[in-house]
Amino acid sequence: MKYFTEDELLKESRPLADLALEALEAGKVKNLYYLLNEMNQGHAGLCGLGLQWLPRMFGRIRNDFGEDVLDGMLGKSCSYLMEPYVEEFSGGDEKGVITQIIQMWMYQHSAHIVPIAENDDEVAFSLTPCGSGGRFLLAGWPDTTPEIFRPCSDGTPIFCRGCKALQKAFNAACGAEVWTTEINEDLLGGCTMRFSKQKSKGQKLFEPLELYQVVKSRCQQAIERIREGDFNVRDLIKDQHREWLPYHDLMITYAVCIQAEIYRQKGSDYLDDFLKETYDTGFAMFYPVYDALDDLGLLRMFVQLWHYHQATFRVEEEEDRFAFILDPCGSGGRMYRADMHKGRFEYGKGMPCLMKEPANINFNRKDYPVYCTHCASSNRDQFDGKPFTFVIDGHAMKDPKSPCVQYLYKKAARREVSTEMLAQVGKTEVAPR
């Protein structure tokens, strides 16, 4: 059964920002307020998945190999991740780099950041809470799942270890203690982030109002303007789903660095099991949300998910499923096309690598992008009894120029996939729900 004509499906595929622009032009202020609030949290699901996946990786490595190995992997990864920011900061753009870093933390869903002060020596911000490690603590994960999320031996929360590693790498490359954080002992989830001025010492980097604007999203700024009667907000709304791209890409490149190191040091079999325990268990938390939605609700959710996942795509409807033609996917596809990490990302250069040998964890392909292994792991998990919501054709993206394809199955569809797709991940049949 099909729900839509081609024109109707094209309308359903638009980002929320396009709908908000229509509401703005039509003077539908109530609709505009609603859409701005929806857009402000449009990335929440993706942010939440990253909030689960990264610390699961850190915890698994610490548990299997010890904190020294974890710190080695984090240090190597973060040195790679921080390279372009170090170059910009050392080149004199201290204000620009401080803005970029604080906004990456600002776009962590549910984060609350307030400027504390700027003086001759530093710029400081209060995170109450931090949207990653702080949220993780507030949700109680170290208490409910201590086998993975317990703090490190020095008391640092497992997620915060990854943040500290970024700072350590940045500071080492700059040759000074530039970027530091202090976890608040009196307020759970709170943290203070400081940036020590170097070449700009004694200079004013931000005007007072500018410093407050730095920590406000485009949607928040638009709402404030509209409340004051200023409807000149088109520039804030257009392509709003792109505004959290720096933090999105930091999470993605952090993940690929860890996966690449796991593969290099431990091989494809260990990477296979590693992703089952880290990615699949995190993704599985979202299945109840998918189960609660009907076909239209699922379609609309995945349309926005892919927009906020920075993809360029179109949707096609079949009798039993929707096909998202990702050209490219906003994470693995963009990586394959070397369109990430400030244009410096390229498989085979620096940390990211291709997997040489075919394996079930890489859709049984050779010279395969290591990041995309989590899609093979997720396919297998769905074939083993989970809902068919995020089924990837592992051979569609046969080279960097070709698109990837994701299938979203309708609720009444039979649990069937082709024998070829089963073979991609080493399966011969689909398990019942």
Same domain, yes or no: 166 and 274: no
Neighbours of 343 (CB within 10 A): 9
Q: Cα dist. 15→20, 110, 311, 410 in Å?
A: 9, 21, 11, 22
8 Å CB contact between 317 and 9: yes
Same domain, yes or no: 108 and 176: yes
Same domain, yes or no: 346 and 282: yes
Q: Which of 180, 206, 232 is the last residue of a domain?
A: 206
Which structural domain range is residue 380 located in? 247-424
Helix H, strand E, coil C: the string for 200-269 is: CCCCCCCCHHHHHHHCCCHHHHHHHHHHCCCCCCHHHHCCHHHCCHHHHHHHHHHHHHHHHHHHHHHHHH
> Would residue 279 count as lying in a domain?
yes
Q: How many domains does the chain have?
A: 2
Expressed in angstroms, the distance from the first to the final Cα of the chain is 22
Same domain, yes or no: 408 and 279: yes
CATH number of the CATH domain containing 120: 3.30.980
> Would residue 29 count as lying in a domain?
no
Class of residue 61 by CB neighbours under 10 A (exposed 0-12, middle 13-18, buried 19+): buried
Tokens for 243, please give them.
Answer: 């505004």
- For residue 182, the cross-strand partners are 192
> Would residue 431 count as lying in a domain?
no
Q: What is the pTM of this model?
A: 0.96
Task: Please list the pLDDT of the chain residue by residue as tens digits (433 residues).
Answer: 899 999 999 999 999 999 999 999 999 999 999 999 999 999 999 999 999 999 999 999 999 999 999 999 999 999 999 999 999 999 999 999 999 999 999 999 999 999 999 999 999 999 999 999 999 999 999 999 999 999 999 999 999 999 999 999 999 999 999 999 999 999 999 999 999 999 999 999 999 899 999 999 999 999 999 999 999 999 999 999 999 999 999 999 999 999 999 999 999 999 999 999 999 999 999 999 999 999 999 999 999 999 999 999 999 999 999 999 999 999 999 999 999 999 999 999 999 999 999 999 999 999 999 999 999 999 999 999 999 999 999 999 999 999 999 999 999 999 999 999 999 999 999 999 8
